[in-house]
Structure 1
Amino acid sequence: MELDLFARLWEEIDFDDHPLSGGHQPEPDGELNVKMTPNSIRLEDARLSFLIGEGSDADSVHRWAANDVRINDGPERLGVHRWSMTPQSVSPELRQWLIQNIGNPEMIEGESVENYRRLLRRLRSQLESKLPNWTWHLEVDNKADRMGWYVRAPESWCSLFTIFVGLGWDAQIPARGFLLFERAPPGELDRPDEAEANRLDGLRTVALCNGHRGALSLLAKNMEWALEPQPYKLELPGDVELWPPSMGRWPLLHGRSNSIEDTVDWAAIIIDALQPAISTLSATIDGISWQ
Structure 2
Amino acid sequence: MERDLFARLWEEVDFDDHPLSGGHQPFPEGELKIKMTPNSIRLEDARLSLLIGEGNDADSIHRWAANDVKMNEGPQRMGVHRWSMSPQCFPPEMRQWLIQQIGEPELIEGESVEENRRLLADLRLRLEPMLPNWTWHLEVDNKTDRMGWYVRAPESWCSLFTIFVGLGWNQNISKRGFLLFERAPPGELDRPDEDEANRLDGLRTVALCNGHRGALSHLANNMEWAANPHAYKLQFAGDVELWPPSMGRWPLLHGRSESTEDVVDWSANIIEALQPAISTLSKTIEGISWQ
Asked whether 1:113 is paired with 2:113, we answer yes
Partner SS state of residue 264, structure 1? helix
CA deviation after TM superposition for structure 1 residue 104, in Å:
0.4
CA deviation after TM superposition for structure 1 residue 258, in Å:
1.5
Q: 2-side partners of 1:143 and 1:6: how far apart?
A: 23
The residue that corresponds to 1:59 in the other structure is: 59
Identify unmatched segments of 5+ residues in structure 1: none
Number of positions where the alignment pairs a residue of Structure 1 with one of Structure 2:
291
Q: 1-side partners of 2:253 and 2:106: how far apart?
A: 42
Q: 2-side partners of 1:150 and 1:53: how far apart?
A: 25
Asked whether 1:9 is paired with 2:9, we answer yes
* CA shift digits 1:156-215 (9 cap, x unpaired): 000000000000111222111100000000000000000000000000000000000000
Q: 1-side partners of 2:80 and 2:20: how far apart?
A: 20
The residue that corresponds to 2:158 in the other structure is: 158
Asked whether 1:223 is paired with 2:223, we answer yes
One-letter amino acid of the counterpart of residue 86, structure 1: S
* CA shift digits 1:7-38 (9 cap, x unpaired): 00000000010000001000101010111000
Tell me which moved more, 165-174 or 183-192.
Answer: 165-174
Give me the CA root mean square deviation: 0.6
Q: 1-side partners of 2:249 and 2:146: how far apart?
A: 17
Q: TM-score, normalised by structure 2?
A: 0.99
Identify unmatched segments of 5+ residues in structure 2: none
Q: 2-side partners of 1:237 and 1:217: how far apart?
A: 19
Tell me which moved more, 235-244 or 58-67.
Answer: 235-244
The residue that corresponds to 1:35 in the other structure is: 35
* CA shift digits 1:81-113 (9 cap, x unpaired): 010011010100110000000000000011111
After the TM superposition, list the runs of 4 or more consecutive aligned residues in structure 1 that deviate by more than 6 angstroms. none
Question: Percent identity at matched positions?
Answer: 81
Alignment of 1:43-82 (within 5 A): 43-82=43-82
One-letter amino acid of the counterpart of residue 124, structure 2: R
The residue that corresponds to 2:145 in the other structure is: 145
Partner SS state of residue 72, structure 1? coil
Partner SS state of residue 279, structure 1? helix
Q: TM-score, normalised by structure 1?
A: 0.99
Asked whether 1:198 is paired with 2:173, we answer no
Q: 1-side partners of 2:262 and 2:172: how far apart?
A: 19
